[in-house]
Chain A
Amino acid sequence: MSFLHNYIYYIGAFGLIFIGLFIMAVKRNYIKIIIGLSILETGVNLFLISIGYIKNGTAPIFSNAGIAAENMVDPVPQALVLTAIVIGLAVMGLALSLAIGLYKHYGTLNLIKIKEQKW
C-alpha cells in the first residue's frame, strides 16, 4: 500500500508516455500517429506537475492575506506546463493542416502507399 502511495502518479505518467511512443512507432495511418503524439504530450505534462507536489500541501494562491505559506506546492512547474499545453495545441493544428494537404495530393493517408508512389 505504501508502494501505491509513493508511485501511482509516476506509473500513470510513464504508462501514457510508453503507449504514446508505441502508437507512433507501429501504426501506419498519419492521423493515428498524430493521436499518439497528443497522448505522449499529456503524459509528459502529468509527469512534470507530479514532481512539484508536497505531501499535505495546498494550492499556491493567497485567497485572503493570512494563509500560511509553508505548505504550498511548487509553483514553477505549473507555469512551465501552462506554456507547454498551449504550444501542444499549435503543433496539432499545423500537423492536421498538413494531413489535409497530403490527402488532396496523394488520395490516401497510408504512409507505406505514399512512399511507393515516388515517380
Chain B
Amino acid sequence: MIIIVTLLVIAMLASAISAYIFKDLLSAVIASCMVSLIAAVLFFLLHAPDVAMAEASIGAALVTAVFVIAIRRTKRYEE
C-alpha cells in the first residue's frame, strides 16, 4: 500500500518538473493536468471523496480547457 503511494508521489513530482522544462506551452498544460489527476487519486486515498470529485472535475477538466482556449488565442511556443 505504501509502495503505491510512493510511486504516485514520485510520478506527480516528475510531471511538475517536466512542466518547468517543456518549451511548447501545450505540453506544459498537459503536464499540469496530470498533476491534478494524481492529486485527485491521493485525495481519495486520504478518505476524502467530496474533495476528490471536486478536484477531478474542476481542477483536471475545466482549468485545462480554459488554458487550451487561451493558448489558442495567443502564441503557442515560449520564446
Chain A residues with CB under 8 Å of chain B are 1, 4-5, 8-9, 11-12, 15-16, 19-20, 22-23, 27, 29, 31-32, 34-36, 38-39, 42, 45-46, 49-50, 53, 57-59, 61, 73, 78, 81-82, 85-86, 88-89, 92-93, 96-97, 99-100, 103, 108-110
Contact = CB atoms under 8 A, between A and B. Distances in A.
Contact of A19 (B9, B17, B43): B17
A1 B5 CA distance: 13
Chain B interface, DSSP helix/strand/loop, else mixed = helix
Contact of B55 (A45, A59, A92, A93): A45
Which range contains the number of B residues in contact with the other chain? Answer: 35 or more
A93 B63 CA distance: 8
A35 B29 contact: yes
